[in-house]
Structure 1
Amino acid sequence: MKTYLLVTLLSGAFAVASAQAAEPSQTPQQQRMTTCNQQATSQALKGDARKTYMSDCLKNASSKPGEKSLTPQQQRMRECSNQATQQSLKGADRSTFMSGCLKKKE
């Protein structure tokens, strides 16, 4: 009888623990999806416009919806390219400058 009672209590404890584990907090992607969905709803977007908005919003997690986010490498390439353009570099000189610029650490 004691064994039966012990097994029943342990089973109940495991059931409660597994129920609590099944309700984790939202991941950052889930939070972003919730935010994007709320924004799309507040703008009354429907159909293809909503799909496009949601896609852009979810891809650009680090930026405002509608803005294209760049990776750190892309940002560095853009900065180096702008510097090379300001210096009016072309051909081999531009290639050499870009190579050196991209290798620099900030």
Structure 2
Amino acid sequence: MNKILTALLMSAVFSVTSFAAHAKTTQQEKMSTCSKEAASKTLKGDERKTFMKSCLSAKPEAAAPEAAAAAAPAVPAPQNAMTACNKAATGKKGDERKKFMSSCLKAKGPENMK
């Protein structure tokens, strides 16, 4: 009787342990995905370490760095407009620059100006 009870108890413990071992957390899934991607790119040493760090720190929907770069700009739209307008305003000074920057930022970039 004790042997049967021990066997049942051991099988219950092993099944719970086995289930817990197979249930991956989100971070473990991310690690697995990033590792497979690094292997497919045949990255080694410091390149692999750098790639894994950026891949693991990425947001879940942006696990693939290339997809994230293509899907959305790295900086918010207002910042992009400011940067683009600053580049376009090169050479302008004083009131001319202020007027240009004002109209450029209102248009959300030099490419949208009339």
TM-score of the superposed pair, with normalisation by structure 2: 0.49
Distance in 1 separating the partners of 2:48 and 2:28: 18
Q: 2:65 aligns to what?
A: 65
- Return 5+ residue gaps in structure 2 as ranges: 70-74, 83-101, 108-114
Distance in 2 separating the partners of 1:16 and 1:79: 54
**What letter corresponds to residue 12 of structure 1 in structure 2?**
M
Deviation at 1:87, TM superposition (A): 3.4
Q: Deviations over 1:22-77 (max 9, x none)?
A: 42411111001100000000001011100000000001133132557xxxxxx8xx
Match of 1:27 among 25, 28, 35: 25
TM-score of the superposed pair, with normalisation by structure 1: 0.52
Determine which structure has the larger helix proportion and give its number.
2
Structural mapping, 1:4-83, within 5 Å: 4=2, 7-8=5-6, 10-60=8-58, 61-63=60-62, 64-65=64-65, 67=68, 78-79=76-77
SS in 2 for 1:44: coil
- Return 5+ residue gaps in structure 1 as ranges: 69-74, 89-106
Range that drifts further, 11-20 or 33-42: 11-20
Q: 4+ residue runs of structure 1 moved beyond 6 angstroms? A: none
Structure showing greater relative contact order (alpha-carbon pairs closer than 8 Å, 6 or more residues apart):
2
Mark the CA change 1:16 to 1:37 in structure 2 (over 3 Å): closer, same or farther: closer
**What letter corresponds to residue 9 of structure 2 in structure 1?**
S
Say how many residue pairs are matched: 79
Deviation at 1:9, TM superposition (A): 5.1
